């Protein structure tokens, strides 16, 4: 029966089905990620972010919320220039975070959740 509408996937972040494997891996090797306060200084100064829709702050937020589906495409936009770590008031090494996500994606690519 067609009601003219259908249930769609919820937009809410579901912490219960959080895939934290990549996050745990990144934090293990780059614990500075824990102290990010989402000020956006990194994104403001980001070389790639001024030319593309890359948002390095949002990328780390996606990671922290376990939303890992788009991470691969996101990190490929990063030019690894390191300006983000120069401006970060909390000393987060975001460039290393990007590198670690790359590694983690390879490690967990074919593993079950």
Partner 1 sequence: MKNIVVIGGGIAGVEVACMMAETGNRVTIIERDNKLGGKLNNWYCLFPDFKKSDEILNYIKNRISKFNIEVKLNSNVEKAERNGNTWLVHTENAICKADAVIIATGYQLFDATRKEELGYKIYDNVITQADMEQRFREGNFLTSYGKKPERIAIVHCVGSRDEKCHNMYCSKVCCVTGVKQAIEINKFLPDAQIFCFYMDLRMYDKFFEELYRTAQEQHNIQFIRGRVSEVSETPDQHLSIKTEDTLSGRPMKMKLDMVILLAGMETKKNTKEIADKFGVDREISGFLKSKDFHIGAGILTQKGVFAAGTCIAPMSIKETIENARSTAFQVNEYLKTL
The binding site for partner 1 (CB under 8 A) comprises 37-46, 49-50, 55, 57-58, 87-91
Minimum CB distance to partner 1 smaller for 46 or for 104: 46
Min. distance of Cβ 105 from partner 1 in angstroms?
Answer: 22
Q: Find out whether 59 and 92 touch, Cβ atoms under 8 Å.
A: no
Kind plus residue range of the DSSP H or E element containing 88? none
Min. distance of Cβ 70 from partner 1 in angstroms?
Answer: 14
Minimum CB distance to partner 1 smaller for 51 or for 107: 51
Minimum CB distance to partner 1 smaller for 27 or for 87: 87
CA distances from 16 to 12, 20, 41, 65, 66 (A): 11, 11, 31, 11, 10
Residue 57, phi then psi, degrees to nearest 5: -70, -40
**CB neighbour list of residue 93: distance below 8 Å, 6 or more residues apart:** 30, 32, 85
Min. distance of Cβ 87 from partner 1 in angstroms?
Answer: 5
Minimum CB distance to partner 1 smaller for 37 or for 80: 37
Min. distance of Cβ 91 from partner 1 in angstroms?
Answer: 4
């Amino acid at each position: 029966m067609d009601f003219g509408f259908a249930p769609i996937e919820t937009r809410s972040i579901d912490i219960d089905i959080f895939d934290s494997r990549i996050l745990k891996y990144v934090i293990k090797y780059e614990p500075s990620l824990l102290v990010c306060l989402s000020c956006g200084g990194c994104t403001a100064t980001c070389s790639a972010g001024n030319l593309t829709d890359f948002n390095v702050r949002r990328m780390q937020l996606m990671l922290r919320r376990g939303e890992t589906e788009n991470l691969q495409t996101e990190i490929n936009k990063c030019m690894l220039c390191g300006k983000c770590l120069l401006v970060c008031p909390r000393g987060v090494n975001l460039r290393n975070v990007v590198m670690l996500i790359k590694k983690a994606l390879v490690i967990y690519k074919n593993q079950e959740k």
